[in-house]
Amino acid sequence: MDVDQLTFMPYSKNYDVLIIGSGGAGLSLALKLADHSINVAVLSKFALTSSSTYYAQGGISAVFDAEDSIESHIEDTLDAGAGLCNPDIVRLTVTHGKSSIDWLREQGVVFTEEQNQAGEIQLHLNREGGHSHRRVVHSADATGKAISLSLIERAQAHANIELFEHHSVVELITAPTGDDNGKQVLGAYVLDTKKSRVKTITARVVVLATGGANMAYIYSTNPHSSTGDGIALAWRAGCRVSNMEFMQFHPTCLFHPEARSFLISEALRGEGGKLVLADGSSFMQNFDPRGELAPRDIVARAIDHEMKKRGIDCVYLDISHKPADFIREHFPTIYQQCLDFGIDITKQPIPVVPAAHYTCGGVLTDSYARTDIKNLYAVGEVACTGLHGANRMASNSLLECLVFADRACEDILLKLPNILPTPKIPDWDESKVSDSDEEVVVSHNWDELRHFMWDYVGIVRTDKRLSRAMNRVELLKKEIAEYYGNFRVTSDLLELRNLVIVAELIIRCAQQRKESRGLHYTLDYPETDNSKPPQNTVLKP
């Protein structure tokens, strides 16, 4: 929301830096900045642990094995990205892998270790899809939880960080810069959902660290907070977005009526887990010579193909041929969660289906996480840095969070002394709205949106399906805009408003790509177009 009249308002707070999001990207940046005596506010839409980082199981890819190399990690990442990765960004990210792990260990994160043949203690490394070596540093099968809890504890104890739980951003506040029609960010209007009150928080720098948009689909491995808020906020403010057609579907989400979002880590396949049908027969060898360790888009499409071909509800991931003690030691979280649902993975295969997992596109940024708006940064899954291209390689995401938090910190520290204090700005105006008496509209639109995105803009697409989805998005946008204009904002309404924008961006990007590449597969253009250099999809507001 642009402002041109600056006045005092009653519910305002001011900070040097406002970080929207409490996952690995947001908290690591907050800690790095706060150590330089910078006053930082961190907003979390729900509890501090509601981020995707907290639920990440696999780990962080980094080169530690003597038989591995930086060049091999780069090559694997470029291969997974199907020609759309930025090679300079890939090299930048990969070369900071070891230092990122070292920093996390300094913050108190404990990673799984093992004793080598020489009797020395070293990090245990998993291997996941797309990796040619073991290079995934992990904390058993709950790496994200270990990282989140350590960073939260550090942030809570830091004198220069103020944490706000249950605060949802309504809109970014921007103003003209005065040159070339550019904009600068001044802060955000923020809904305190506990008090049902919109506050004004101003800051000289604002950072989006809100995660992805995978709740646009009915089946997702993500927490309910992943509604594309940062992407929609940046788009409405005037930022470009890129590559939104590349929505990654994790191949193996637990198929159970009471566990629709529980991820079965790729590390199970890295340790020998096999994808099988109900009769125990394997099928991945029919789709890729790498079998279960092929990149995620290939594995997800293979599962989707088998399910549709045979009319079955799921396939199975079987690791029961491994020793029971090995399974319980390496995958304690998965073992216990499945056991709670009556599945003993030491004896039984796990029923699995693909589910929306990661947003490879997002707000377009440069190598320092800067967006199109002055003093507005984006880090983590909300951003499109050029690292992932058309498909993210497993366990590169947490690495990206850490590396670009560090890059943003470097740039902010350099620029902050020259950014003027933020002026007072108008209070949020609720004088012309009322409390809603039709909450069912929000819930109905939410369900409709996620269902048709799954049916029409999922793992396999066609022009006709995309057209149908766009028609429905246009209708929903009008309904939601009318609702938003007449009633007081709620967390659910803000999420729905953001999600319908993100859905439109996904569809628009998918309609522009007349080929199949990486995570975007369309029956109308089933081949990759190699007649010209591959291009990233970029949308301008």
Of 521, 419, 518, 412, whose CA–CA distance to 465 is shortest? 521
Q: Could you give the angle at which helices 87-94 and 70-80 cross, rounded to 10 degrees? A: 140
Nearest CA among 213, 173, 164, 215 for reference residue 193: 164
Query: How far is residue 159's CA from residue 411's CA, in Å, rounded to a whole number?
Result: 22
Q: In angstroms, rounded to a whole number, what is the distance separating the alpha carbons of residues 357 and 348?
A: 25
Residue with tokens 């290939």: 298
CA distance 109 to 80: 28
Query: Shortest CA distance to 293 belongs to which of 48, 457, 129, 500?
Result: 129
Nearest CA to 318 out of 354, 285, 284, 351 is that of 351
- The question of whether 296 is a catalytic residue gets the answer yes
Distance separating alpha carbons of residues 294 and 300, to the nearest angstrom = 10
Q: How many CB atoms lie within 10 A of CB 107?
A: 15
Query: Residue 231 — left, alpha, or beta (φ > 0 → left; ψ -120 to 50 → alpha)?
Result: alpha
Query: Rounded to an integer, what distance in angstroms lies between the CA atom of residue 174 and that of residue 155?
Result: 28
CA 237, CA 535: separation in Å to the nearest integer?
25
Pick the catalytic residue from 154, 296, 465, 472: 296
Dump the DSSP string for 115-127: E-TTS-EEE-EE-
Alpha-carbon gap, residue 13 to 210, rounded angstroms: 21
- Cite the active site residues: 296
